[in-house]
Amino acid sequence: MDDYDKTCLESALVGVCNIVQQEWGGAIPCQVVLVTDGCLGIGRGSLRHSLATHNQRSESNRFPLPFPFPSKLYIMCMANLEELQSTDSLDCLERLIDLNNGEGQIFTIDGPLCLKNVQSMFGKLIDLAYTPFHAILKCGHLTADVQVFPRPEPFVVDEEIDPIPKVINTDLEIVGFIDIADISSPPVLSRHLVLPIALNKEGDEVGTGITDDNEDENSANQIAGKIPNFCVLLHGSLKVEGMVAIVQLGPEWHGMLYSQADSKKKSNLMMSLFEPGPEPLPWLGKMAQLGPISDAKENPYGEDDNKSPFPLQPKNKRSYAQNVTVWIKPSGLQTDVQKILRNARKLPEKTQTFYKELNRLRKAALAFGFLDLLKGVADMLERECTLLPDTAHPDAAFQLTHAAQQLKLASTGTSEYAGYEHNITPLHTDFSGSSAERM
Amino acid sequence: MAESCRQHVEFDMLVKNRTQGIIPLAPISKSLWTCSVESSMEYCRIMYDIFPFKKLVNFIVSDSGAHVLNSWTQEDQNLQELMAALAAVGPPNPRADPECCSILHGLVAAVETLCKITEYQHEARTLLMENAERVGNRGRIICITNAKSDSHVRMLEDCVQETIHEHNKLAANSDHLMQIQKCELVLIHTYAVGEDSLVSDRPKKELSPVLTSEVHSVRAGRHLATKLNILVQQHFDLASTTITNIPMKEEQHANTSANYDVELLHHKDAHVDFLKSGDTHIGGSSREGSFKETITLKWCTPRTNNIELHYCTGAYRISPVDVNSRPSSCLTNFLLNGRSVLLEQPRKSGSKVISHMLSSHGGEIFLHVLSSSRSILEDPPSISEGCGGRVTDYRITDFGEFMRENRLTPFLDPRYKIDGSLEIPLERAKDQLEKHTRYWPMIISQTTIFNMQAVVPLASVIVKESLTEEDVLNCQKTIYNLVDMERKNDPLPISTVGTRGKGPKRDEQYRIMWNELETLVRAHINNSEKHQRVLECLMACRSKPPEEEERKKRGRKREDKEDKSEKAVKDYEQEKSWQDSERLKGILERGKEELAEAEIIKDSPDSPEPPNKKPLVDMDETPPVEKSKGPVSLLSLWSNRINTANSRKHQEFAGRLNSVNNRAELYQHLKEENGMETAENGKASRQ
């Protein structure tokens, strides 16, 4: 960002926009704090000018708002409300927030401009935007006070009806565990450090006596470090076992806790949030349908821990997993025909494959209404029959003739022979039983 | 819910198009019908691959009447069903009178079908009850036909508009039908290659607030297929990614390998980072010669098979553009076999960035978007630096075992509770966690029973909701076995951390063990009558002098009334870790008094006994050797001797030397320094 000798909020915002995107990408929420005296600049480049020309932008000089990343724009005005209201400054600044899809807020000074009031204004910002998120991590009766960092953002469920922002519970309740291989790199909204904390709440004496005694913070930390904490136990076991803990964040909202290694020595307890909904991960199925293995008739993980109930198999296979027939490109059709031909030349050893491929082609041709193809392949098989070498097994000729005949019947399109579910079966010959005798 | 409705018409036959070349045989060609069916099946294939649910297709064929090939139900939404239905309809009869055939029948049927309520709409309406009218009904009619002229096309559009108008009136008075709110008509005029088109293209135009229409004029054959491929991308917000540099063994020469490219379609959100940052690397137009864009990502051969969690911000189902080509099927089979492939994004700067991953889950392949920008969680403090990080004897292995027992598994069939209400498996899972953690010490030095192999048969079943007779028997056996151990005076794995010298005496050890075991069993006595029986057995077998036993029992019963078992265990847990830390650090402040109060009602193995049980307190405070009742055993004589011998080898702790009544006052200097009242720490002085 270059320095400018005049107020030009737009270029400042463009600069912020570029820096954030280069550094953090487009998915990480950022809080942009704009500190201004409330003056908007003059002439070209002034905020008034920017806003006035807002509707005449092309793609190349797009106005930086809304920011192309999740953001909150906080405008800190070094002026009090009355001063700002006397001009249209406040309106212009409010437009900025509006342009950022309403994400953000304007702060002004209460009373005269002095250090104390400015401090109090920033104090308000800190309270609003930077308060740590405290929660209680629970696993049955095992609990720990934790701080979740960064603060989980409310999630707006993108439904047709009333978008309501969802906020995560302050009780993070573990509902069970799953192997890392089974959860397999799920998509997440965000991830957060889960840091155990020692709270100085009423009735809990940890730490309080010490501060009174002017003990330094270091030894307070040391003491907290020596009190067994559930987070540390959980982290250790998750790491050793290669598992994640599924945690309930709210109604129909879940996440996972896992050990994340920063380096060889450092590792941490992390929490990732899944998208809210009854079924955030197709391969786990509906979250509410996950239950304890002890309720199952037999252990779904096997006695030797050698199998897994995950991933769930969908009812229908996808096209790439079910050998579909696509003849849009000539090569697709040619490959299928050649497969049949190849197997035809190796009859009777390849009888089963030959008929399998033949039936696949037959079905597709019927569905596509491509009856000419059936005739064509029938002709081809008859030709193949005439080209059989003398050494060929006599069964080969019988099968080829039979197959060609059946295809021709199917190509008439009459329902008797052209049933989709009908399959051409190998002709039963006297040779079929002892087909392997001759080469 | 963007349903789409498609429709087909037969008209012309015998168009010279793609030829199948087998040398001596005459080439054959596809009919317009075959081209249309193939292309629309390909449209459906891609759609079903990427949206197996919630996107529905209804297939209608029109000749002298409309043939509706499937319904909106999920069972009908797959390629096999459509293929079978198409085969049943068969190709158009070339001898039929073209005058009786009209696409109009199909268009009318399409509008009718769009008014029919789908399962999803029904579900949503039921859910919203009085707000049911907020459920939308929008659809798209794709009509592939051979039109005669521009005016013919306009006639078709008018027909659709009129039919929608009529049917919306009908639907307004019906519970089973829904009005069409938005309908998009996509008319595709297809004609034989080499002929002139009688219909001109027209971009999307609004015919009424409900209906928009666009017209495409396309040559048959692969041109039609390409058109529908572009349309499926537009209609479902798809984008294309080409994976390059896929090493594949050559068919002919198995030991050489060449690099191939495979083009995949997926939801365009998988490219969201590229679109936003503008750092796109768009490959040349696809080989089809169409104008669509594809993003190129480079294959990174997976080195290891180890499983790790990637930070993934999105996962999108894919569909290969050319599903049966050898490179495509090689790639998909590789993935379906359980391997994952990382994909590298070529950047202008030349730096390497892994931006995506291909991976299959349950036979479905997903393109995972991996976060490639800087993490905001750089250099976080290690967990060992935080609370509890200095404790070294966590029961990591035991908790691992606990986690494995509390793994989840899907229960797809609904189950019902005794009262007939639906049972939610996830609630059962929480319930089990609650039971399993009623008594669960976190560190090794806090527990005796969980360090004993002999206790396992009891500890593993007592947490269950209900016990079998066999379970009870096993628990009883475990208890008898412990009694046996005590009689033989077998050593116990009592932790000596935080205690001085050699730790408690053998019989004291057993007392601690029995107390802990009782805590565990007591936490579960409300589960069932059989749990109660285990406790009874335990109480009967505890090796205690009869009068002490009696006293204990009476004392406990009183306690049980005072605090309900579950709550007590929980409190006890916290209290215990609290006091443990106390012991570790020997903090002595005013809190101590409150602690002592809290402990009065607790049944803790190593907390001081409540003062109201005078005889016990006395016992605790007397040295353990004198405590033992009856004649002195050979073992205790011997261990006394060893103790004395050992004590000569080291200097006695100052605390023990200066102790009054075997209690030492710790941090006496604190008292001097800040004038605070230091309380006595019972535990620190206990032997």
pLDDT of residue B78: 87
pLDDT of residue B89: 83
User: Which pLDDT tens digit goes with each residue over B525-543?
Assistant: 888 888 998 898 888 887 5
Helical segments of A282-393, H only: 330-344, 351-367, 371-386
Who among B37, B438, B442 is closest to A228 (CB)?
B442
User: Which pLDDT tens digit goes with each residue over B177-214?
Assistant: 888 888 889 999 888 877 788 888 899 999 999 999 99
| Phi, psi torsion values for A90, nearest 5 degrees | -60, -40
User: Which pLDDT tens digit goes with each residue over B259-301?
Assistant: 889 999 999 888 877 665 544 444 433 343 344 578 889 998 7
Polymer length of chain A:
439
- Chain A and chain B share a number of CB contacts under 8 A equal to 433
Q: With cut-offs at 50, 70 and 90, classify the pLDDT of residue B651.
A: low
Task: Look at A363 and B276 and tell me if their CB atoms are within 8 Å.
Answer: no
Q: 């399109």: which residue's tokens?
A: A413
Chain A residues with CB inside 8 Å of B134's CB? 160-161
| A14 inside 8 A of chain B by CB | no
ipTM of the complex: 0.84
User: Which pLDDT tens digit goes with each residue over B297-347?
Assistant: 999 877 666 677 888 989 999 999 999 888 999 999 999 988 889 999 877
- 3-class DSSP assignment, residue B57: strand
Rounded to 5°, angle at Cα B381 from B376 and B383: 120
Max distance between CA atoms of chain B, in angstroms, equals 119
Asked which of A68-82, A292-306, B122-136, B231-245 is least confident by mean pLDDT, the reply is B122-136
pLDDT of residue B343: 92
Encode B299-338 in three state secondary structure.
Answer: EECCCCCCCCCCCEEEEEEEEECCCCCHHHHHHHHHHHCC
Please, what is the end-to-end C-alpha distance for chain B in angstroms? 74
Who among A231, A266, A284 is closest to B388 (CB)?
A231
Task: Look at A287 and B385 and tell me if their CB atoms are within 8 Å.
Answer: no
- 3-class DSSP assignment, residue B32: helix
Distance from CA of A254 to the nearest CA of B (A): 12
Chain B residues with CB inside 8 Å of A140's CB? 430, 433-438, 440
Q: 């319904």: which residue's tokens?
A: B71
Closest CA to A140 of B401, B427, B435: B435
On the question of pLDDT at B501 being above 50, the answer is yes
Q: Please, are residues B350 and A270 in contact by the beta-carbon 8 Å criterion?
A: no
| A170 inside 8 A of chain B by CB | no
pLDDT of residue A114: 84
Q: How many CA atoms lie within 13 A of B299 on its CB side?
A: 20
Q: Provide mean pLDDT across the span A325-337.
A: 86
Task: Look at B30 and A370 and tell me if their CB atoms are within 8 Å.
Answer: yes
Pairing of strands A71-80, A104-109: parallel
pLDDT of residue A109: 85
Q: Could you tell me the sign of the dihedral formed by the alpha carbons of A179, A180, A185, A191, in that order?
A: positive
Taking the CB of residue B302, how many other CB atoms lie within 10 A of it? 13
Asked which of A297-301, B147-151, B265-269, B646-650 is least confident by mean pLDDT, the reply is B646-650
Distance from CA of B551 to the nearest CA of A (A): 30
Nearest chain B residue to A236 by CA: give it: B396
pLDDT of residue B584: 44
Nearest chain B residue to A266 by CA: give it: B382
Chain A residues with CB inside 8 Å of B273's CB? 25-27
Task: Look at A25 and B310 and tell me if their CB atoms are within 8 Å.
Answer: no
Pairing of strands B294-300, B312-320: unpaired
Chain A residues with CB inside 8 Å of B30's CB? 368, 370
Asked which of A138-147, A216-225, B154-163 is least confident by mean pLDDT, the reply is A216-225
Task: Look at A228 and B30 and tell me if their CB atoms are within 8 Å.
Answer: no
Task: Look at A420 and B87 and tell me if their CB atoms are within 8 Å.
Answer: yes
User: Which pLDDT tens digit goes with each residue over B570-617?
Assistant: 444 444 444 444 444 443 444 444 444 444 333 434 444 444 433 333
pLDDT of residue B617: 35
pLDDT of residue A204: 44
Which residues, at least 6 apart from A178, have a Cβ–Cβ distance to it below 8 Å? A243, A244, A246, A256, A284, A310, B407, B408
Distance from CA of B25 to the nearest CA of A (A): 7
Who among A237, A316, A328 is closest to B399 (CB)?
A237
On the question of pLDDT at A197 being above 50, the answer is yes
**What CA–CA distance (Å, rounded) separates B172 from B176?**
10
Q: Please, are residues A104 and A73 in contact by the beta-carbon 8 Å criterion?
A: yes
Chain B residues with CB inside 8 Å of A418's CB? 87, 90
* Structure tokens, A378: 């029938």
| Phi, psi torsion values for B393, nearest 5 degrees | -115, 45
Task: Look at B25 and A380 and tell me if their CB atoms are within 8 Å.
Answer: yes
Task: Look at A213 and B328 and tell me if their CB atoms are within 8 Å.
Answer: no
On the question of pLDDT at B619 being above 60, the answer is no
Who among B312, B391, B428 is closest to A187 (CB)?
B312
Task: Look at B313 and A370 and tell me if their CB atoms are within 8 Å.
Answer: no
- 3-class DSSP assignment, residue A201: coil
Chain B residues with CB inside 8 Å of A177's CB? 403-404, 406-408
Q: Show which of residues 303-332 on chain A sit within 8 Å of chain B, judged by CB atoms.
A: 305, 309-314, 316-322, 324-332
B203 vs B220, higher pLDDT = B203
On the question of pLDDT at B20 being above 80, the answer is no
Average pLDDT, chain A: 82
Task: Look at A180 and B309 and tell me if their CB atoms are within 8 Å.
Answer: yes
Distance from CA of B128 to the nearest CA of A (A): 10
Average pLDDT, chain B: 75
Task: Look at B438 and A140 and tell me if their CB atoms are within 8 Å.
Answer: yes
Q: Provide mean pLDDT across the span B167-182.
A: 86
- 3-class DSSP assignment, residue A65: coil
Chain A residues with CB inside 8 Å of B319's CB? 318-320
Q: Provide mean pLDDT across the span A47-55.
A: 79
Q: Please, are residues A290 and A244 in contact by the beta-carbon 8 Å criterion?
A: no
Q: Please, are residues A220 and B412 in contact by the beta-carbon 8 Å criterion?
A: no
pLDDT of residue B403: 94
Q: Provide mean pLDDT across the span A406-422.
A: 79
Chain B residues with CB inside 8 Å of A203's CB? 594
pLDDT of residue B292: 55
- DSSP secondary structure string, A170-182? SEEEEEEEEEHHH
Please, what is the end-to-end C-alpha distance for chain A in angstroms? 80
* Secondary structure tally for chain B: helices H, strands E: 23, 17
On the question of pLDDT at B8 being above 50, the answer is no
Q: Show which of residues 277-306 on chain A sit within 8 Å of chain B, judged by CB atoms.
A: 282-296, 300-301, 305
Nearest chain A residue to B374 by CA: give it: A24
A241 vs A86, higher pLDDT = A241
Distance from CA of B542 to the nearest CA of A (A): 28
Chain B residues with CB inside 8 Å of A260's CB? 309
Chain A residues with CB inside 8 Å of B581's CB? 206, 223, 226-228
Distance from CA of A314 to the nearest CA of B (A): 7
Q: Provide mean pLDDT across the span B441-460.
A: 88
CB burial class (10 A; 0-12, 13-18, 19+) of residue A165? exposed
**What CA–CA distance (Å, rounded) separates A299 from A288?**
19
Chain A residues with CB inside 8 Å of B225's CB? 328
**What CA–CA distance (Å, rounded) separates B213 from B343?**
40
Which residues, at least 6 apart from B256, have a Cβ–Cβ distance to it below 8 Å? B249, B250
pLDDT of residue B633: 66
Q: With cut-offs at 50, 70 and 90, classify the pLDDT of residue B98.
A: low
**What CA–CA distance (Å, rounded) separates A374 from A369?**
10
- Specify the amino acid at residue B171: A
User: Which pLDDT tens digit goes with each residue over B32-51?
Assistant: 888 888 898 999 999 999 99
pLDDT of residue B442: 92
Closest CA to B209 of B166, B170, B155, B164: B164
CB burial class (10 A; 0-12, 13-18, 19+) of residue B143? buried
What are the structural domains of chain B? 28-236 (3.40.50), 240-279+292-370 (no CATH), 393-408+419-497+505-546 (no CATH)
Instruction: Please give the radius of gyration of chain B, using alpha carbons only, rounded to the nearest integer.
Output: 40
Distance from CA of A336 to the nearest CA of B (A): 10
**What CA–CA distance (Å, rounded) separates B585 from B247?**
62
A254 vs B415, higher pLDDT = A254
Q: Show which of residues 349-378 on chain A sit within 8 Å of chain B, judged by CB atoms.
A: 363-364, 366-373, 375-376
Task: Look at B134 and A150 and tell me if their CB atoms are within 8 Å.
Answer: no
Q: With cut-offs at 50, 70 and 90, classify the pLDDT of residue B504.
A: low
Q: Provide mean pLDDT across the span A341-362.
A: 88
* Structure tokens, A252: 């129909």
Task: Look at B325 and A331 and tell me if their CB atoms are within 8 Å.
Answer: yes
pTM, two decimals, is: 0.78
Taking the CB of residue B64, how many other CB atoms lie within 10 A of it? 11
Q: Provide mean pLDDT across the span A78-102.
A: 82
Nearest chain B residue to A231 by CA: give it: B388
Distance from CA of A223 to the nearest CA of B (A): 7
Q: 């197997």: which residue's tokens?
A: A343
Closest CA to B494 of B516, B479, B481, B513: B513
Asked which of A21-30, A300-309, B312-321 is least confident by mean pLDDT, the reply is A21-30
The strand ranges marked E within B538-666 are none
pLDDT of residue B527: 87
Who among A24, A228, A318 is closest to B376 (CB)?
A24
Q: With cut-offs at 50, 70 and 90, classify the pLDDT of residue B565.
A: very low
Q: With cut-offs at 50, 70 and 90, classify the pLDDT of residue B566.
A: very low
pLDDT of residue A436: 40
For chain B, percent of residues with pLDDT exceeding 70? 68
DSSP B443: B
Task: Look at B394 and A180 and tell me if their CB atoms are within 8 Å.
Answer: no
- 3-class DSSP assignment, residue B90: coil
pLDDT of residue B33: 84
DSSP A425: -
